[in-house]
Structures are given as C-alpha cells and as structure tokens.
C-alpha cells in the first residue's frame, strides 16, 4: 500500500521574525505584561514580514536534516514522487530532500511543483495580493530539477490568483488536493511513496480531509513543527488512509526544534479517539425529529458505497419504505455535521438494520455504541408493550434481531448477538440471522 509523507517546510525568515521582535522589545515576559508592547510587536512584524520569505539560518539546517532523514529511511520504495509548494520556504526545504533521495539512489524519483499547494493565507503583502512567481522563474531560482508543473495558470502568469479573502479558498483547495493525492497514490505500486513539502495551516486542513474530519478547527488541532513529518498509508481496498506517524521530528535536536513540539500537540489522541455523539432521528409519530437534509445525503452516499455496492440490484429505492418507518441513530463528530456511522431500528420487524461505520472511524467503539442505542430503544418498546407479536417461536418478549453479512458475524457476537440457523444468500451476499441475547 503506497505511503504519503507530509512535511512542513523548515523555519522561514517570517517564522524567526516574531521571536526576534519580541527580543527587541524586552522579551516575552515584558510583552505579555504590556499591551502597548504587544501592539508594537504586531505592527513591527506586519511591517517587516515578507510575502514569500526564504529560510532562516536555522531553517537551512533543519532542511538539510530532514533531507538526510527521508533519504535514510529504509522503505524500499519502487518509485517516489516529491511534490512541493511554489512558495520559497517549501522549495528551499524540498531541495535538500531531492538531493538526499538522489544521493541515496532512490528508484524512479519524480519531482513536481504544485501551484495549488500553497499556504492558507496565499501570497499577500500589506493587504495586497501578489501574483507569485511563474514556473519558469521558480526553475531559474531554485536548484530543483522539476519533471512537471501542476496547475500553474499559464507560462507567463504567477501561481497565485486571489479571489476574496486570503483564506476563503483553503477548504475547497484542501478537498481538491485530497482527491489529487488519492489519485496519484492509487496510480503507484504498493511500494510507492509520495512526499509533499508544504505549509502548516494548509497541511492541517488537508490532513483533516484525508482522515475524514472537518476542516473547521483543523489549524488549531493539527500542529506541525518545522520539518515535522506525518506518514499515512493508502488502504486501497477501503479507499481510506491509515495514520502511521504524526508530526515526527527524530532528525531534529532540541535546539533545532521550532514551530511546535511533538509532545504539545493533541491531534494524535484526537485521531485515535475523536469526540462523538449519537443522535436519534425518525418519524414524528414515534417522537423523533427528521434528519437534516445534508446529513441524510452524506449517509445515503455512505450506504451506497459501503453497503449497496456489494449487493446485487440494491439501491436507495429498495429501502425507501423501511427507511420511512425506522428510527435512525447517527454518530457524528462532536460540534459538526460529519457522520461517523449510522444504524436503523425498524419497530415493525424488530430488527437492527443498515449498520454502517465509515472506514476512518472504525475500531473506536462507534459500532458498539450504535448497537447499544438500538438495543436500548428496543428494550423500551418491549417494556412499554409497543413491540407486538412473538420474536421467535415461544418467545414472550421478542428479541432484537439482525440479518447481518456473515463477515460481520464476529462483530455482532461481541455486541451480544447469537446466530440463529444456517447462513443464507441474499442479494448475492452470504448472510446470517442473529438475535440479541439480553435485553438490558
């Protein structure tokens, strides 16, 4: 399965400038205690910062170190694609990486500059958008032997074209880059690798989309040190990414570590166990609120891709009637409308149905939480006498049932279900009938 390595650029002159101005104004303690000094720092930084800065002296050392580190990794890659932003600090970071890879004899190395992989703020100076450099100018200024340029508007135009607020296009750009990355990785052999040298704020948004999280708040959550490396693996079968390493800086000494200390970020824990809540939707007749249109659309697409695509001749129309009478439990990421999974409970058949958990949110306990939600509402209805008729022969209290794909049997067994009868074929899929063992 191909690897993706996202690398933040080394420390730029702008990164170093803020600390320099703080020092000129008497140090961090003095600035923190005097609002007038803080205003002076902000004004001085705005006046002296560059729209497209080079690396600082420390940044040059960081870039050399990350180049050696990536070249020294024993990954046995059949091919490597190195992609960098058109901004100077990323280009100057990518150059020693390219030299290191070539020096290490990396097979089938390809180097590209992507005009859409720039920082979230774009290229501005004094509130005015600048066009950025043309690809020809970039090639003349930097010792990178490019094999291709991606998404440059034209040979005689710079890479940046601002429309609206500087960061207004960051989220849609992250969406487009996510698709582009997935397509490029999918075209590589299983031992292929893509290394992308970019920028902290935009990388945060991109990482959020790659792992299925919303862009909102990503810049504060997904923090990278200068030359911090995050490694993901494309899982072809699922079309999702497996996170292997986050903001790793083994190549840096403590004196060279700038931007964000790996121990200070909280996003590794956030990816392992994102905060989520279970919501309940359904017919008004059973005391539920209808599901918002946008959320319903996202879940229909998830069901189409993860369920119906594997069943012969099955689509949304086959489930319209049962959807209308069912209660749907949806797991969403807290504070967002991003669904992680769903399950339905059909009171008329006493069945759990249409369970789906998106691949990037599996193994987090979401599936079990959804099962518990259904078991709870079923128990309430049995206790209240609103579930009528025998569940199985001789049952006074009809059990909750599920007709599950056989490959999901182990999951439902862990959740408290037991198989009833032999496996059977349904819509081209091997299935099993199972009943919930206890009503809590």
Asked whether residue 111 is domain-assigned, the answer is yes
Per-residue CA distances from 314 to 108, 187, 308, 323, 430 (Å): 44, 30, 6, 14, 15
Domain boundary among 249, 272, 295: 272
Same structural domain, 348 and 229? no
Domain boundary among 239, 272, 305: 272
Residue numbers of the domain that contains 339: 276-393
Contact 259, 225 (CB under 8 A): yes
Asked whether residue 128 is domain-assigned, the answer is yes
Contact 392, 377 (CB under 8 A): no
3-state secondary structure of 100: helix
Same structural domain, 239 and 328? no
Task: Give me the phi and psi of 339, to 5 degrees please.
Answer: -80, 140
Q: Any residues with CB less than 8 A from the CB of 144 and at least 6 apart, and which?
A: 84, 91, 94, 95, 98, 111, 113
Same structural domain, 303 and 204? no
Count of domains forming the chain = 2
**Read out DSSP for 59-127?**
HHHHHHHHHHHHHH-----SEEEEEE-SSHHHHHHHHHHHHHHHHTT-TTEEEEEETT---TT-SEETT
Asked whether residue 194 is domain-assigned, the answer is yes
Residue 372 corresponds to which tokens in the numbers above? Answer: 């518990």
Contact 178, 210 (CB under 8 A): yes
Alpha-carbon distance 268 to 230, whole Å?
A: 11
pLDDT for 270-317, tens place per residue? Answer: 444 556 788 999 887 667 888 888 888 889 888 888 887 777 766 667
Per-residue CA distances from 31 to 19, 34, 215 (Å): 11, 5, 32
Same structural domain, 9 and 148? yes
CB atoms within 10 A of CB 164: 7
Alpha carbon of residue 336 to chain centroid: 14
Q: What is the DSSP letter of 289?
A: B
Strands 339-346 and 327-333: antiparallel
pLDDT for 229-260, tens place per residue? Answer: 999 888 766 667 888 888 889 899 989 998 87
Strands 192-198 and 79-84: parallel
Alpha carbon of residue 245 to chain centroid: 13
Reported as half-sphere exposure (CB side, CA atoms, 13 A), residue 77 has a value of: 30
Same structural domain, 286 and 386? yes
CATH number for the domain that contains residue 375: 3.40.630.30
Domain boundary among 234, 257, 272: 272
Instruction: Output the tens digit of pLDDT for each of the chain's 440 residues.
Output: 789 999 999 999 988 888 888 888 888 778 777 888 888 888 888 788 888 999 999 999 999 999 999 988 756 777 899 999 999 999 999 999 999 999 888 878 999 999 999 998 888 777 778 888 999 999 988 878 899 999 888 888 888 876 544 556 788 888 889 889 988 988 888 888 999 999 998 998 898 888 877 666 666 667 889 999 999 888 766 667 888 888 889 899 989 998 875 544 444 444 445 567 889 998 876 678 888 888 888 898 888 888 877 777 666 676 778 888 899 999 987 666 778 899 999 988 899 999 999 876 776 778 888 998 999 888 888 877 665 544 444 455 688 999 999 999 988 998 889 999 999 998 888 999 999 975 43
Strands 417-426 and 429-436: antiparallel
Same structural domain, 285 and 342? yes
The CA dihedral of 217, 219, 221, 224, to the nearest 10 degrees, is 170
Task: Give me the phi and psi of 282, to 5 degrees please.
Answer: 160, -165
Bridge partners of 434?
A: 402, 419
pTM to 2 decimal places? 0.60
């Amino acid at each position: 399965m191909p690897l993706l390595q996202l690398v933040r650029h080394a420390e730029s002159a702008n990164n170093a400038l803020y600390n320099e101005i703080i020092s000129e104004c008497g140090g961090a303690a003095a600035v923190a205690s005097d609002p007038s000094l803080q205003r002076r720092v902000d004004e001085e930084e705005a006046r002296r910062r560059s729209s497209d800065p080079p690396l600082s002296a420390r940044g040059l050392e960081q870039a050399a170190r990350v180049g050696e580190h990536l070249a020294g990794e024993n990954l046995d890659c059949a091919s490597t694609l190195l992609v960098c932003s058109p901004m100077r600090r990323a280009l100057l970071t990518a150059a020693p990486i390219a030299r290191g890879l070539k020096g290490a004899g990396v097979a089938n190395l390809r180097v590209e500059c992507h005009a859409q992989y720039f920082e979230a703020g774009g290229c501005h100076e004094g509130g005015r958008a600048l066009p950025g450099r043309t690809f020809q100018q970039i090639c003349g200024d930097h010792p990178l032997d490019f094999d291709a340029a991606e998404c440059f508007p034209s040979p005689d135009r710079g890479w940046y074209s601002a429309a609206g607020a500087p960061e207004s296009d960051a989220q849609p750009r992250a969406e487009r880059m996510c698709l582009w990355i997935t397509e490029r990785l999918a075209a590589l052999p299983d031992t292929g690798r893509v290394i992308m040298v970019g920028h902290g704020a935009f990388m945060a948004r991109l990482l959020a989309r790659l792992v299925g999280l919303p862009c909102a708040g990503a810049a504060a959550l997904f923090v990278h040190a200068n030359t911090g490396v995050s490694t993901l693996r494309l899982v072809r079968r699922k079309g999702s990414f497996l996170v292997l390493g986050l903001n790793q800086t083994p190549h840096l000494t403590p004196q060279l570590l700038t931007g964000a200390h790996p121990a200070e970020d909280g996003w590794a824990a956030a990816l392992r166990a994102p905060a989520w809540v279970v919501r309940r939707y359904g017919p008004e007749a059973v005391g539920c609120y209808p599901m918002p249109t946008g959320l319903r659309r996202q879940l229909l697409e998830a069901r189409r891709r993860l369920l119906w695509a594997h069943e012969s001749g099955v689509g949304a129309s086959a489930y319209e009637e049962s959807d209308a009478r069912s209660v749907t439990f949806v797991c969403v990421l807290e504070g967002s409308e991003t669904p992680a999974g769903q399950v339905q409970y059909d009171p008329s058949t006493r069945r759990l149905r249409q369970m789906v958990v998106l691949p990037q949110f599996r193994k987090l306990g979401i599936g079990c939480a959804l099962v518990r939600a259904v078991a709870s509402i079923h128990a309430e209805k049995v206790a209240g006498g609103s579930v009528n008729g025998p569940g199985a022969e001789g049952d006074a209290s009809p059990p909750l049932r599920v007709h599950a794909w056989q490959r999901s049997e182990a999951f439902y067994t862990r959740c408290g279900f037991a198989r009833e009868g032999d496996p059977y074929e349904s819509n081209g899929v091997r299935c099993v009938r199972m009943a919930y063992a206890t009503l809590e």
